[in-house]
Structures are given as structure tokens and as C-alpha cells.
């Protein structure tokens, strides 16, 4: 005879698992699903571990996602379920600047959300971009990088306000505190690239690729 509590557990765990395989789960966007995930997280961890993944859950920031579990020496290599995405110089720069902006916001303001206008983002990054002599083209390129950052899940365009964006707090998991502490030195490299003194490859990037489910 089937155990009823076991059936209920399996049915309940399916919802957070499916959501995690599709992308990031946010506490503010899906509060009921978030509570289910918190309650069943041990089972979720066991389940995804079988396929070489691990659950990254941050209760303080209210976000959770899956990433590839580091392989141990005695394990056979498994096919990657979570692709690695190499970031371009402008996108890695934008992530670093957004991460620093969020850190400054957290230190000065008790509000959990940080919303920036398109113009604020453009002004934030333009000084580190190579001069083109064409202002419209430069802004168009920055818009492309903003859209890529949205695709990666680190920015969210506000509904009904196409020129305003929320920095998603999952960026704190990707650009860690250690990397941020070295940011001033890295900014010199970025500025060198903007003035043509260094090549893009020499400018620092957040450690690793964008290795997580989306």
C-alpha cells in the first residue's frame, strides 16, 4: 500500500524542482513556492545531487538556483546540465558596476530593492567604454549590454516602465565579496581598456562563468 505522506511529499517537491530547473526562484515573486522550497529543501538537495547539481539557497537575499556540483577526484565526469556562459568584457563590467551599486545601496539604505533608470546605467558604464565618436551608437551598444544582463537574470525591467530596472539580488552570488574588494584595481584595468591602453582580455571578470540555471 502506498504511503500517503510520501505521495504528498513527492507531489510537493515537484513544484520547486520544476521551478529551479527552469530558472531562479525568488521569495518576493513566488512566496508560496519559496515557503515550499524552504520546507522541502533537504529533499530537493538530495534529488538534484543525483544528477550532479547542487541547490544554492540564500534565505537572506531570498533567492535560490541550481548550479553544477564540483566534481571530486574519485567521481566520473557527468555531462553538464547547467551550461557555462563566457561573459563579454562590457557585460562583466556592467555586472561589477551593478554589484558595487547594490553594495553601496545596502550600506546606506534599509530598502531591499534597488531600481535604476536607463540613463543612470548608461552614465555608470559609459566612462569605461571605448570612445566611438558616435553618441547614439554608444548608447545603442549599452542598451544591448543591458538586454544581455536582463537575459542572464541580473536585471529586471519594471512592468510598464521600460526605462527602469531592478538589480536582482542574485548578482551577489555571482560577484562575491572578495572579487568586489578588488574592484578598484580592476576599474583601472577597465579604464585602460576604454582609453585603448589595455586589451579587453586583460580586464578582470567575476570569477568563473555564468554557471547556473536560468
Per-domain boundaries in the chain: 4-68, 89-202
Average pLDDT over residues 147-164: 89
Helix (H) or strand (E) holding 155: strand 155-158
How much of the chain exceeds pLDDT 90, in percent?
A: 27
Q: Is the separation of the CB atoms in 52 and 81 below 8 Å? A: yes
Q: Which fold has domain 89-202?
A: Arc Repressor Mutant, subunit A (1.10.10)
pTM exceeds 0.85, yes or no: no
Report the chain's mean pLDDT, rounded to a whole number: 78
Statement: residue 208 has pLDDT above 60: no
Question: Which residues make beta-bridge pairs with 65?
Answer: 56
Q: How far apart are CA 27 and CA 37, in angstroms?
A: 10
Backbone angles phi, psi at 177, to 5 degrees: -65, -35
**Could you tell me which residue, 134 or 167, shows the higher pLDDT?**
167
Question: Which residues make beta-bridge pairs with 156?
Answer: 166
Average pLDDT over residues 185-190: 66
Amino acid at each position: 500500500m502506498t504511503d500517503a505522506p510520501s505521495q504528498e511529499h513527492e507531489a510537493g517537491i515537484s513544484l520547486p524542482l520544476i521551478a529551479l530547473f527552469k530558472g531562479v526562484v525568488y521569495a518576493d515573486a513566488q512566496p508560496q513556492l519559496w515557503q515550499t522550497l524552504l520546507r522541502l529543501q533537504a529533499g530537493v538537495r538530495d534529488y538534484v545531487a543525483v544528477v550532479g547539481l547542487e541547490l544554492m539557497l540564500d534565505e537572506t537575499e531570498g533567492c535560490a538556483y541550481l548550479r553544477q556540483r564540483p566534481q571530486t577526484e574519485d567521481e566520473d565526469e557527468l555531462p553538464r546540465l547547467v551550461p557555462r556562459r563566457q561573459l563579454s568584457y562590457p557585460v562583466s563590467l556592467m555586472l561589477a558596476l551593478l554589484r558595487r551599486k547594490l553594495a553601496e545601496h545596502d550600506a546606506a539604505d534599509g530598502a531591499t530593492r534597488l531600481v535604476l533608470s536607463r540613463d543612470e546605467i548608461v552614465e555608470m558604464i559609459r566612462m569605461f567604454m571605448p570612445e566611438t565618436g558616435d553618441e547614439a551608437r554608444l548608447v545603442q551598444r549599452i542598451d544591448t549590454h543591458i538586454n544581455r544582463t536582463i537575459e542572464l537574470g541580473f536585471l529586471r525591467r519594471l512592468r510598464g516602465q521600460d526605462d527602469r530596472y531592478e538589480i536582482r539580488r542574485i548578482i551577489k552570488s555571482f560577484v562575491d565579496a572578495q572579487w568586489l574588494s578588488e574592484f578598484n584595481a580592476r576599474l583601472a584595468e577597465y579604464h585602460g581598456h576604454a582609453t585603448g591602453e589595455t586589451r579587453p582580455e586583460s580586464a578582470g571578470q567575476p570569477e568563473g562563468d555564468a554557471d547556473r540555471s536560468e
